[in-house]
Structure 1
Amino acid sequence: MIQDSETFAGTFPFPPHFTDAPGFRMHYVDEGPAGGEVVLCLHGEPTWGYLFRDLIPALSATHRVVVPDHMGFGKSETPGERTYWLQDHIDNLERFVLALDLTDITLVMHDFGGPVGMGLAARHPDRIARVVTTNGPTPFGQPNLLDRITANAGSAPWFRWIAEAHAGGSLEPILERLGYNILSTLKLNGFENNAIITDPWLAAYAAPFATPADCLGAIGWAKGFATEAHRFETPDASAERSIRSKPALAIWGEADRTLQAEHFLPLFTAIFPAASIERLPGVGHYCLEDAPAAVAQLIADFLRRT
């Protein structure tokens, strides 16, 4: 786990906040006016709140930007007795949001932050004001969800590796050393701008995974796909009607090899047929790394016009 005060050479200068509401010590960033509308940023695998370091100052002048680290990631605790399936992360986020009494939430979701955020939306649609996906799936009870996941997994290098490594017994031994192979893991998932690789950047993404015991979150997310242990939240009819009425925006790096647009953008348009879709050519899976200024501008413009 990262030290509370670590800023990685000033690249992550935000004061740390913590809550035990989800049953473990959960870290979060909380920047901007306390009474402002909330922008809740949800990271994926194997990142943490550092992914949003450029978005936080871009939005916090006008909005309260809240960025939690999921259990087992970033500066949050990695309890050894917990499970790390999707439903666990949804439970944790729900407890976090209720403890902080967050309302008027604009979800900004990347990677598995998508299904975690949509799980929250299914349970508490009244707390959601807007939905933004940044290369993150938006499962919401669509009948063809598993077909799309299966089709994507057949061609995505990351998911093909998960299946092969699990079958061969190497999934956990490799991911237990994630602190050492973080660059190859991030590159396999996909970013295109190699200029972002600096010593502080590499340290920021490696630091949460210093020991095998620190890697349970990353192992759980991958293993959950291999064993089909993850359970996607299904909204009831009222929640589905409510969320469908919200303003929404999709931002998608078209060079994403992990979550390919052809498989996942239809999930978004099935819920939000009139929403804007912004495709970013030459931008990979980690669009917030490849094109942080463009992503921040698109989200800021969306917040203003809605």
Structure 2
Amino acid sequence: MNQTGSHPLVLKHGLTEEYPFNQNYLTTDSGRIHFVDEGTGPVLLFVHGNPTWSFAWRNLIKRFSPTHRCIAIDHLGCGLSEKPQNEVYRLADHIERLQLLVETLDLQQITLIAHDWGGAIGTGVAGRIPQRFSRLVLMNTGAFRSQQIPFRIALCRIPLLGKLGMQGANLFAQAAVHMAVNEAYPLSPKIKKGYLLPYDSWRNRIAIDRFVKDIPLSPSHPSYEALTEVEKGLTKLTAKPILLPWGIKDWCFTPEFLKEFQRIFPEAQTVRFEEAGHYLFEERPQELGDAIAKFIGQTEESTSISSD
């Protein structure tokens, strides 16, 4: 499962300093999934969204891997995972594959750290096997049905036009490295290269296109039932410690999504980053890491006290 050394793409483009992680792979029925597995200790499970990959978590992995086991998946079609050209990119498919990774590695007492689509995928797994999860960190994400969809994303769902823009011209990923980094704008050329690296051709951008099309806005959508099940599963997580770090100037997962999470999880801790946008891990990596470290420390202490 482990292959020592950096991925050839990372080496070729001089990104080993930013992304100095060994390759790890899990073979699934749909294709081979790449994941980061660094450090030992309590498990942090990082789950990315669209159009990112495990590169987004590099700063947090480097910070926490001396004391924690950091697992960061690349969803099928994303990052360094295989990119099959068939229909294996529904929400339910991503949930199944993440659950397979969790169970294959026999991860226990997991701290879930999720962003964007990773929130629905990660909580989808946590709702199925809540006994394996200790706490959740959910940032600028959603895990429930909503009619809110930004106009810019709605355009990407227009047949042919959206496909040409996302898979052909890579407009979605290109726009993200500009529009999602409010306080970190402009990203350095090297970091932009890191985000765009796996999405360098029509074939390699298939998951970006499929993720956008998989947003279920009506009961007739193929993933509506899966998202409904994710939403129902949140009730199994309400007793767990939950942290909600949020970039308030996110144009995609707006503060309305934060309010809904606060309604579902009234005991959750919230850390608002008033000037930050969608990519907290780029805009405020130090402060985000501090908030997560404080949250883990506090909740580990309270869990220990309650069990004594």
For 2:251, what is the secondary structure of its paired residue? coil
- CA drift of 1:137 comes to 1.6
For 1:18, what is the secondary structure of its paired residue? strand
- CA drift of 1:127 comes to 0.7
Quote the residue 2:79 is aligned against: 74
Quote the residue 1:60 is aligned against: 65
Specify the code of the residue in structure 2 equivalent to 1:199.
P
Quote the residue 2:158 is aligned against: 167
Quote the residue 2:25 is aligned against: 18
Q: Deviations over 1:22-55 (max 9, x none)?
A: 641111111111xx22110000010000111110
Quote the residue 1:269 is aligned against: 262
**Residues 275 and 209 of structure 1, relative CA distance in 2, 3 Å threshold:** same
The answer as to 2:130 corresponding to 1:125 is yes
- Write the distance in 1 (CA, Å) between the matches of 2:18 and 2:228: 35
- CA drift of 1:240 comes to 5.2
Among 264, 268, 283, the residue aligned to 1:290: 283
Q: How does 1:174-189 map to 2 (within 5 A)?
A: 174-177=165-168, 179=170, 182-188=173-179
**Residues 196 and 291 of structure 1, relative CA distance in 2, 3 Å threshold:** farther
- Write the distance in 2 (CA, Å) between the matches of 1:28 and 1:168: 32
Q: Which has the higher contact order (CA 8 A, sep 6+)?
A: 1
The answer as to 2:250 corresponding to 1:260 is no
For 2:229, what is the secondary structure of its paired residue? coil
Q: Deviations over 1:121-175 (max 9, x none)?
A: 1111111110111112233xxxxx3xxx21x32xx3xxx1332343363010111
**Residues 305 and 30 of structure 1, relative CA distance in 2, 3 Å threshold:** same
Specify the code of the residue in structure 2 equivalent to 1:93.
L
Deviates more, 1:99-108 or 1:169-178: 169-178
Quote the residue 1:302 is aligned against: 295
Q: Where do 5+ consecutive residues of structure 2 fail to align?
A: 1-6, 300-308
The answer as to 2:234 corresponding to 1:232 is no
The answer as to 2:244 corresponding to 1:250 is yes
**Residues 176 and 235 of structure 1, relative CA distance in 2, 3 Å threshold:** closer
Q: Deviations over 1:65-110 (max 9, x none)?
A: 1001011111111111232121111111111111111111110000
- CA drift of 1:3 comes to 3.4
Quote the residue 2:89 is aligned against: 84
**Residues 215 and 302 of structure 1, relative CA distance in 2, 3 Å threshold:** same
- Write the distance in 1 (CA, Å) between the matches of 2:293 and 2:138: 14
Q: How does 1:83-162 map to 2 (within 5 A)?
A: 83-139=88-144, 145=145, 149-150=146-147, 152-153=148-149, 156=150, 160-162=151-153
Contact in 2 for aligned 1:253/1:287 (Cα 8 Å):
yes
Percent identical among aligned pairs is 30
- Write the distance in 1 (CA, Å) between the matches of 2:50 and 2:156: 17
Contact in 1 for aligned 2:120/2:230 (Cα 8 Å):
no
TM-score by length of 2: 0.86
Contact in 2 for aligned 1:162/1:223 (Cα 8 Å):
no
Count of aligned residue pairs for this structure pair: 286
The answer as to 2:195 corresponding to 1:205 is yes
Q: Deviations over 1:273-297 (max 9, x none)?
A: 1111110011001111111111111
Contact in 2 for aligned 1:119/1:233 (Cα 8 Å):
no
Specify the code of the residue in structure 1 equivalent to 2:291.
L
**Residues 61 and 220 of structure 1, relative CA distance in 2, 3 Å threshold:** same
Quote the residue 2:302 is aligned against: none
TM-score by length of 1: 0.86
Specify the code of the residue in structure 1 equivalent to 2:32.
R
